[in-house]
Structure 1
Amino acid sequence: MVQMFIDTGLSTRLCDNTSFKQFCRLLEHRFKTPGSARVTSLMGARMETATEKLKDIVREARRLTLCVDGWSKRGLTAAFLGVSACFYHPPTGKAQHTLLNLHRLDHPHTGEVIARCIDLTLERWDISDDKVLLVVTDNGSNIVKAIRLLRDRQEQVGADFQARPELMDTEADDTETESSDTEAEENGLELENFLENDEECNKFQRMPCLAHTLQLALKDAMKHPGVESTILKARLLVHAVRKSSVANEQMVRRCGKTLIRDCSTRWNSTLHMINRLLETKGELNQVLEDLNMDTLLTSDWAKLENLLKLFEPFAVHTDQLQNDSQSLSHVVPCLLNLEAHLLSTTVVLKPVAQLLLRSLRDRFAGILNPDCCSFDATAAGACLVDPSVSFVLHSPELKSLQTAAETFV
């Protein structure tokens, strides 16, 4: 019974329900249904056992990468910060990804607050700072600041230790506040400091989420006047149909599907909106005709088809990069494949493809361009030592990237 509540997430108050007790007695008349308090206590014991087991697994990892991300409930009624860990587990020979903590965040969501949540997570799971190889985050200014605070603290501790060893255990007091959680990348900033190369202090190095950065490049392309106007028309059409109960019922009756709204914070949602429009184009036009509603122009439908072909590979690679089964070695091949796709784009969307290509190269210069001041060869090195993808670096055009990877390895 305890396992049922763990697996389903049902409330333990079900145990106090008379009908549930009668049901249990029908299954086994000798069984006495425990109360909700007893089940909650047993679940807590299970949690403690599982936590200790997971601590042992984490302890056996040589290094690990923290993944930190925050989100809010609908209506902004509550905010949360998730901290997970990715690592290679030597005894089993498998890569592991586990959620360590889910923190409830109260306003303001400052860098100090986020840094404290990460500290509490490391403390609870007995993870030393030396064990943290990278911290993967989005590009919000508050979370970027949190990682900087953690790194600066380590640098200060090291400096104090060299000057006065007795200060080793003192904790720095930083009262600076940060209330902005806007996306720095939205303002057109390049992907700078992909990894900060500091041989003296390599703790808490931040790596921007690659899938998130890829979506920011897509947003740059969607700001092109021709693309923006076409997507706006599609969005208005979807809104008009979705707010009509009659149109929705007819769509479900004709094709069993409804139109999809896009969301600015949901990856690939605009692509899914376009795809559903094209997928149900015939039935949609029949419904619009029956209800005397306007549809898109033929030229607009053609533009949507071209945009789908242009953006679809980005959706595929976004899903690949955020998949737990993917390793760092696949980053460079994914980016190179997208570059090749954009370079082969037809004349119709050439200006949009060129804009997207520039954004892609600018945002990922720290990975693909050895001449960039913020270049780090970690991803290229991972690609080089992976036999399944290392061949992509053997192209003459990538000689400098291959050399950088070989030097790194």
Structure 2
Amino acid sequence: MSLLSLTVQWIDDNFSLRHATLQAKPFRGSHTSKAIADAFDGMLQTWCIPKTSVHVVLRDNARNMIKGMNDAGLPSLPCAAHTLQLVVHEGLLSQRSVADALAIGRKIVGHFKHSPLAYSCLEDIQLEIGQPAKRLQQDVQTRWNSTFYMIQSLIEQKRALGVFVSEHELPDNLTAHQWALLEKVVTVLGPFEELTRKVSSSEAMAADVIPAVTVLQRFLSRETDDDHGIKTMKGTLAAAVRRRFSDVEEQPLYSIATLLDPRYKNLFFSNTNTAANAKEMLMRELLRSSGEEENHDLHEPPARKPRRDQASSSLDSIFDEIADEQAPVSLNRAQCVLCVVS
């Protein structure tokens, strides 16, 4: 059964971020754009939420969802996590050797998933060699990052699987070259997994998207000795990021949010032109909200290095590197911003 849910986020009187799931209803029949628009209209009416109070709807990238939001007259943006995983899907399919290794990995995981006896034997081996008993993870196309977790679980159990295959049959087995290939794939997909978790968090903000894309592009553009065997995949990932996020800096919601976030300011835009355009978007929004007619030449306070509010990650050095490069760049900016929340 298909379900359609309505989850809301808002800022309360204490300026704290709040969220709640208001409704989850069966979604029967064809998932046409009209049916989606009608369903959203019905849920908003049920909760007496006027469309003027809807700042933005986050949706997936399906055409029926895009058109459905347009038909309903609701502003919408694609889910950044879903877009990241579409990029990963493209990359994994682009290199035959990687796709073949993944197919074998799925067969191995599937064998243990469907055979309690085989899993029991693997569990005994894990305990004998001093590893915790742990199941292999099957990837599912609709579950974001699941392929990364499947490869990771296979690599963690490589030693136990080697013992198992010496005593039992498997439907297929990975060669030494394929094991090495999967280890490289995990290294490249690690930042995608990290950023997907970050933008999927209940604490995530629109301001996180542009910096995440900029850092990801920097990471993928670097050539390393470990690229041998996965260059096609890495190149496809880089091209897919550029294409699927090509207009992210032109979206006022993303650009203004990034500019106003003290962690990011104008440091993570791809160039000075897009940063200047973001400033213009912000000033137009300020004038619209305040009703003023004139722009004022207000100057930006001294740039500060973005603070770190999370544990160190594999991408922190790239965030710091970009921030240090862009810190001397100055943009005129409003010193005081009035935020109006519907």
Q: Give the TM-score category using the shorter length.
A: 0.7 to 0.9
Which residue pairs with 2:145 in the alignment? 268
Tell me how far apart the structure 2 counterparts of residues 253 and 400 of structure 1 sit (CA, whole Å).
61
Counterpart residue type for residue 343 of structure 1: S
CA contact (8 A) 1:378 1:405 kept: no
Number of equivalent positions: 271
- Kindly indicate whether residue 13 of structure 2 is the aligned counterpart of residue 108 of structure 1: no
1:219 to 89, 99, 104: 89
Tell me how far apart the structure 2 counterparts of residues 393 and 286 of structure 1 sit (CA, whole Å).
48
Tell me how far apart the structure 2 counterparts of residues 267 and 345 of structure 1 sit (CA, whole Å).
26
Tell me how far apart the structure 2 counterparts of residues 284 and 331 of structure 1 sit (CA, whole Å).
39
Tell me how far apart the structure 1 counterparts of residues 64 and 5 of structure 2 sit (CA, whole Å).
15
Deviation at 1:253, TM superposition (A): 2.4
Which residue pairs with 1:79 in the alignment? 2
- Bigger drift between 304-313 and 120-129 goes to 120-129
- Kindly indicate whether residue 23 of structure 2 is the aligned counterpart of residue 148 of structure 1: no
Tell me how far apart the structure 1 counterparts of residues 175 and 204 of structure 2 sit (CA, whole Å).
41
Tell me how far apart the structure 1 counterparts of residues 169 and 5 of structure 2 sit (CA, whole Å).
48
Counterpart residue type for residue 123 of structure 2: V
For 1:262, what is the secondary structure of its paired residue?
A: coil
Tell me how far apart the structure 2 counterparts of residues 121 and 393 of structure 1 sit (CA, whole Å).
37
Which residue pairs with 1:156 in the alignment? none
Tell me how far apart the structure 2 counterparts of residues 343 and 388 of structure 1 sit (CA, whole Å).
24
Tell me how far apart the structure 2 counterparts of residues 87 and 118 of structure 1 sit (CA, whole Å).
18
- Kindly indicate whether residue 213 of structure 2 is the aligned counterpart of residue 335 of structure 1: yes
Deviation at 1:137, TM superposition (A): 0.7
Which residue pairs with 1:235 in the alignment? 106
Tell me how far apart the structure 2 counterparts of residues 345 and 326 of structure 1 sit (CA, whole Å).
30
Alignment of 1:87-236 (within 5 A): 87-89=10-12, 91-151=13-73, 204-224=74-94, 225-236=96-107
- Kindly indicate whether residue 247 of structure 2 is the aligned counterpart of residue 366 of structure 1: yes
Tell me how far apart the structure 1 counterparts of residues 169 and 203 of structure 2 sit (CA, whole Å).
49
CA contact (8 A) 2:38 2:72 kept: no
Tell me how far apart the structure 1 counterparts of residues 3 and 173 of structure 2 sit (CA, whole Å).
41
Deviation at 1:242, TM superposition (A): 2.7
Tell me how far apart the structure 1 counterparts of residues 2 and 253 of structure 2 sit (CA, whole Å).
33
2:164 to 268, 287, 290: 287
For 1:305, what is the secondary structure of its paired residue?
A: helix
Counterpart residue type for residue 329 of structure 1: A
Normalization by structure 1: what TM-score?
Answer: 0.63
Gaps in structure 2 of 5+ consecutive residues: 127-132, 283-342
Tell me how far apart the structure 1 counterparts of residues 79 and 274 of structure 2 sit (CA, whole Å).
21
Which residue pairs with 1:155 in the alignment? none
For 1:126, what is the secondary structure of its paired residue?
A: coil
- Kindly indicate whether residue 149 of structure 2 is the aligned counterpart of residue 278 of structure 1: no
CA contact (8 A) 1:222 1:228 kept: yes
Normalization by structure 2: what TM-score?
Answer: 0.75
- Kindly indicate whether residue 237 of structure 2 is the aligned counterpart of residue 356 of structure 1: yes
CA RMSD of aligned residues (A): 1.7
Gaps in structure 1 of 5+ consecutive residues: 1-77, 152-203, 369-374
Deviation at 1:266, TM superposition (A): 0.7
Deviation at 1:136, TM superposition (A): 1.1
Which residue pairs with 2:181 in the alignment? 303
Deviation at 1:149, TM superposition (A): 1.5
1:303-352 CA-partner distances (Å, limit 9, x unpaired): 00000000011011011111111111111111111111111242312221
CA contact (8 A) 2:266 2:275 kept: no
Q: Relative CO higher for 1 or 2, CA cutoff 8 Å, sep ≥ 6? A: 2
Tell me how far apart the structure 1 counterparts of residues 39 and 78 of structure 2 sit (CA, whole Å).
19
- Kindly indicate whether residue 192 of structure 2 is the aligned counterpart of residue 314 of structure 1: yes
Which residue pairs with 1:51 in the alignment? none
Which residue pairs with 1:389 in the alignment? 264
Deviation at 1:391, TM superposition (A): 5.7
Tell me how far apart the structure 2 counterparts of residues 326 and 258 of structure 1 sit (CA, whole Å).
30
Tell me how far apart the structure 2 counterparts of residues 84 and 352 of structure 1 sit (CA, whole Å).
36
What percentage of aligned pairs have identical amino acids?
A: 25
Deviation at 1:240, TM superposition (A): 2.6
For 1:284, what is the secondary structure of its paired residue?
A: helix
For 1:101, what is the secondary structure of its paired residue?
A: strand
1:36-64 CA-partner distances (Å, limit 9, x unpaired): xxxxxxxxxxxxxxxxxxxxxxxxxxxxx
Which residue pairs with 2:279 in the alignment? 406
Deviation at 1:364, TM superposition (A): 0.5
Which residue pairs with 1:258 in the alignment? 135
Tell me how far apart the structure 1 counterparts of residues 97 and 175 of structure 2 sit (CA, whole Å).
14
Distance 1:292 1:229, change over 3 A: closer
Tell me how far apart the structure 1 counterparts of residues 27 and 275 of structure 2 sit (CA, whole Å).
43
Deviation at 1:141, TM superposition (A): 2.7
